[in-house]
């Protein structure tokens, strides 16, 4: 078990309060990408940052924003280290982050929990009430919940495009209120 000092906890809160450059409605803590802060000396810290995916173009902006926030707090030397293991998952988004995404008009990713990798279904584009699916071994598999419209809450939605403004989002439309919306895809 890793012991976190009061200073490290304070600096982790500051680093985590930095807004995400692509989704400024979320902080890096709510997104779940700031993993740890280690105080190496009185004015030297190392921050562990996990990108949402290895080719994430925002990782450099995140690192610079974290460095700036910690330097503004009086830390002389800040090193932001990219950590790829354990890999980031959409399950790392906090409940507060999910609430903020919904309020911002983005359907949050569905929670996978311990169910393993997210299955990709190429053919089906509608997201009405969940229906049982069959696993590769023939056993019944519990489906993920339907993707709900962040505007009206309807589960009657359809996929318009597998990619939206960023690679981590898909474009969907609600068939009840007819509003288009982004869906933060599960990873």
Quick one: pLDDT at residue 95? 97
The structural domains of the chain, ordered by start, are 6-82 (3.30.300.130), 106-184 (no CATH)
The rounded distance, in Å, linking the Cα atoms of 86 and 71 is 27
Using one digit for the tens of pLDDT, what is the confidence trace for 22-38? 999 999 999 999 999 99
Instruction: Provide the 10 A C-beta neighbour count for residue 132.
Output: 8
For the chain, give the percent of residues with pLDDT over 70. Answer: 82
Q: List beta partners, residue 53.
A: none
Under the banding of pLDDT at 50, 70 and 90, the label for residue 140 is very low
Report the length, in residues, of the chain: 187
**Which of the residue ranges 89-93, 111-115, 134-138 would you say has the lowest mean pLDDT?**
134-138
The model's pTM is 0.81
Does the N-terminal peptide bond of residue 66 adopt cis geometry, omega within 30 degrees of 0?
Answer: no
pLDDT-based confidence at 65, cuts 50/70/90? very high
Which residues are CB-contacts of 130 (< 8 A; sequence separation ≥ 6)? Answer: 143, 144, 145, 146
Q: In angstroms, what CA-CA distances link 36 with 4, 47, 116? A: 9, 6, 25
Q: CB-based burial of residue 53 (10 Å sphere; 0-12 exposed, 13-18 middle, 19+ buried)? A: middle
Rank 52-61, 89-98, 137-146 by mean pLDDT and report only the highest.
Answer: 89-98
* pLDDT given for residue 165 in this prediction: 84
């Amino acid at each position: 078990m890793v012991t976190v000092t009061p200073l490290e906890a304070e600096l982790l809160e500051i680093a985590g309060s930095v807004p995400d450059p692509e989704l400024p409605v979320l902080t890096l803590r709510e997104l779940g990408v700031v993993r740890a802060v280690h105080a190496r000396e009185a004015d030297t810290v190392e921050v562990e940052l996990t990108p949402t995916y290895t080719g994430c173009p925002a990782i450099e902006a995140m690192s610079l924003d974290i460095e700036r926030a910690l330097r503004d707090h009086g830390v002389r030397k800040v090193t932001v280290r990219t950590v790829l293991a354990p890999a980031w998952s959409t399950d790392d988004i906090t409940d507060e982050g999910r609430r903020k995404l919904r309020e911002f008009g983005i359907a949050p990713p569905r929670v996978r929990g311990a169910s393993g990798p997210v299955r990709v279904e190429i053919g089906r584009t509608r997201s009405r009430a969940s229906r049982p699916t069959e696993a590769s071994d023939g056993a019944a598999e519990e489906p993920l919940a339907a993707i709900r419209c962040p505007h009206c809450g309807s589960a009657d939605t359809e996929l318009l495009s597998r990619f939206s403004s960023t690679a981590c989002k898909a474009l969907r439309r609600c068939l009840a209120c007819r509003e288009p919306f982004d869906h933060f895809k599960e990873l």
